[in-house]
Chain A
Amino acid sequence: MTSTGAWMACPDMRAQSAVLVRGGAKVCDGVSLELRGGEFVALVGPNGAGKSSILAMLAGDLAPASGSVTMGGERIVDMDARVLARLRAVMTQGTDVTFPFSVRDVVQMGRYPWSDTPDAAGDDAAVSRAMSFVDVAHLADRTVTSLSGGERARVALARVLAQHTPILLLDEPTAALDIRHQELVLGLLRQRVADGCLVVVVLHDVQAAAAFADRVVLVDGGTVRAAGSPREVLTAEALSATYQFPVAVDHDAPGGASIVPVRRGGARPSL
């Protein structure tokens, strides 16, 4: 339970027939999921499928209109904010910061749940380590407002890592990252999973999901269409139907699964 070594025990998470209503519309309809430590779970699906909404319910940001979302058997929306923040860290899309905090300040905010605890002694070490993990240590004294999108995303990730929680809920953490940093981050998350953490990630990159996830949850129309190993879920039929675009899948391609849109007549029209 120290900030340098192991995490707090990872509680199970469970969504049971969760229905979420936003602006009068049902954005999630009967979502049921069981999640536990030691799992890398990827939520995939088309735009507007409800992936971020599911993540928001798991994070405790939005309460289901019916059904339940629990952590360790307790309804998340009823949990104390401080207790919850020691168990799960969240990275949302659009992590804008209005004021020119330094990168170090922002990562330091990840230590807030541990203030007034013995673990606060490890704050500086945890912040430095988190920054070097995602390759932003050299930006420590820069203002976040001056960084590029990809750099800001990595800073947000560093903050999430500094929070030192057994559960990580991340909405498109790699969307703005270059190839090297995407692999760095996903590899790092794999490492966390090996250490017993639960990592739930919204991913648009289906190939990355196939390569890194233990379990893929295919979301469409606000509900779970399929859940299971990448090989079970990410089939040509299922993906083509969900994305309404022909997709070719080869899980045994050299260098990892190949999942690509079928571009008839070549991607570029020949003149």
Chain B
Amino acid sequence: MSASGAVDARTTTAIVRRPLPVAVVLAVLLVAAVLASASIGAYSVPVGDVVGAVLRRMNLLSSVAADPVADEVIWVIRLPRIALAVVVGAALGCAGAVMQGAFGNPLAEPGVVGVSSGAMLGAATQIVTGFDPLGVWTLPLAAFLGGLVAVAWVYLSSRHEGRTEVLTLILMGIALNALASAAIGFLAFVADDASLRSLTSWTLGSLAQATWGKVGVVAPVAVLGALGAVSLARTLDLLSLGDHQARHLGVSVERARIRVLLVVALLAASAVAVSGVVLFVGLIVPHVVRAIVGPAHRALLPLSVLLGAVVVTVADTVARTLVSPAELPLGVVTALVGAPVFIWQIRRLRRIHGAWA
């Protein structure tokens, strides 16, 4: 409770770095990552030809492609996949930032606490039952409903007197992840061959079989979620203090909570619907952004969108090139980087708050 004598100035002085230059840097990084990713692969295409292929498709360049195969590879195979990586990363980064704010806890993220599993179970149920009243929108809707139930359950069960009980939060996540994977295992058992294939390509998270059609379905869902998140920025600052303090400052906590849960479910659904469960992106990304520009959500949310997009674009490029011609699941790559960060976070929190049990 008392001040210790000498304190490291770097940790005590609030970060006053302006968010705008950081946003510019991240945007440049994103463009670079996209171009690099489009250029790298089994069929290598120089970056100049990547730009040329895009411009030709948009009728901004009339010259004939020197290598028509390269144009096809770029436009039909690589770019849709990269677009999905951008959407998934943006959605997960943003979802993590929203959840950490709403839970007032830096360990909350869609994968760890089971929201992605819930969304996945919803989507898996749809795939296996084949129940399809809304065409391409059925799958994201099923993922959304699954994610909503999961996040509402985790939220309501891990809160006590307006604050998050960390241990309950993590244990609920374990329980939900176990429950969802058991249910998905059961679904896989009863599934026919075709649905089993799409189910398994998912379980570890993969962006293979990307199409522009999928991009068209999940991108609007993610954009809706991200806009909802940004509109909640100032409220999230206050919610991170705990329910009582937020209410003292004029936040209608019940209403804000419902909006938060909807936003998280939208974001998680847009990611899970195409990539399955991708762990830890929602954990690392907001954490890094907070270390650069501080915890205020007005900057944290948009920058988490950008950094999330960069991270998953790079991770997916690694996933599909590292063991080429085979492919690593995207979830494996993010977990390899993310799990150590998660462990480090737990140790840091433990140092601050003491052991939990």
A residues engaging B (CB < 8 A)? 59-61, 80-82, 84-86, 89-90, 92, 95, 97-105, 109-110, 112-113, 115, 141-143, 146-149, 151, 163, 176
Contacts and interface: CB of A to CB of B under 8 A. Distances in A.
A60 B253 CA distance: 13
Nearest to A140: B14
Contacts of A104: 14
B309 to A, nearest CB: 23
Contacts of B234: 112, 115
18 contacts: A60-B247, A61-B248, A81-B252, A84-B250, A85-B247, A85-B248, A90-B248, A92-B245, A97-B240, A97-B241, A98-B104, A99-B290, A100-B290, A100-B295, A104-B14, A105-B237, A105-B294, A110-B249
Contacts of A151: 3
Nearest to B254: A81
Interface of B: 1-3, 7, 11-16, 104-106, 234, 237-238, 240-241, 244-245, 247-253, 290, 294-296
Nearest to A56: B244
The 7 closest A-B pairs by CB, nearest first: A85-B250, A102-B14, A148-B3, A99-B295, A146-B12, A113-B250, A90-B248
A113 B3 contact: no
B244 A99 contact: no
B250 A147 contact: no
A141 B13 contact: yes
Nearest to A149: B1
B313 to A, nearest CB: 27
Given A61-B244, A143-B13, A146-B11, A81 B1 contact: no
A105 B106 contact: no
Contacts, number: 95
B106 A99 contact: yes
Secondary structure of the B contact surface, majority rule: loop
Nearest to A100: B295
Contacts of A147: 3
Which of B13, B16, B106, B290 is the most central at the interface, judged by chain A CB atoms within 10 Å of its CB?
B13
Contacts of A146: 7, 11-12
Given A97-B241, A102-B294, A109 B249 contact: yes
A119 to B, nearest CB: 13
Contact of A98 (B2, B7, B105, B294): B105
A101 B250 contact: no
A81 B11 contact: no
A176 B252 contact: no
A126 B311 CA distance: 40
Contacts of B244: 61, 90, 92
A101 B14 CA distance: 7
A147 B251 CA distance: 26
Contacts of B247: 60-61, 81, 85
A84 B3 CA distance: 35
Nearest to A22: B161
A261 B231 CA distance: 55
Contacts of B3: 147-148, 151
A103 B14 contact: yes
Contacts of A109: 237-238, 241, 249
Contacts of A100: 14-15, 290, 294-295
Which of A80, A89, A112, A113 is the most central at the interface, judged by chain B CB atoms within 10 Å of its CB?
A112
Given A95-B241, A141-B14, A143-B14, 5 more contacts: A81-B247, A99-B104, A112-B238, A112-B249, A148-B1
Contacts of A149: 1-2
Contacts of A85: 247-250
Contacts of B245: 90, 92, 95
A97 B295 CA distance: 11
A99 B11 contact: no
Given A98-B104, A112-B250, A176 B7 contact: no
B299 to A, nearest CB: 11
Contact of B16 (A115, A141, A163, A176): A141
Given A98-B240, A100-B295, A112-B234, A148 B2 contact: yes
B294 to A, nearest CB: 7
Contacts of A176: 1
A104 B237 CA distance: 13
B254 to A, nearest CB: 9
Contacts of B294: 100-102, 105
A163 B14 contact: no
A81 B250 contact: yes
Which of A60, A61, A92, A151 is the most central at the interface, judged by chain B CB atoms within 10 Å of its CB?
A61
Nearest to A103: B14
A101 B104 CA distance: 12
B11 A163 contact: no
A97 B240 CA distance: 8
A146 B240 CA distance: 17
A197 B78 CA distance: 66
A75 to B, nearest CB: 15
Nearest to B162: A61
Contact of A86 (B106, B237, B250): B250
Which of A97, A141, A146 is the most central at the interface, judged by chain B CB atoms within 10 Å of its CB?
A146
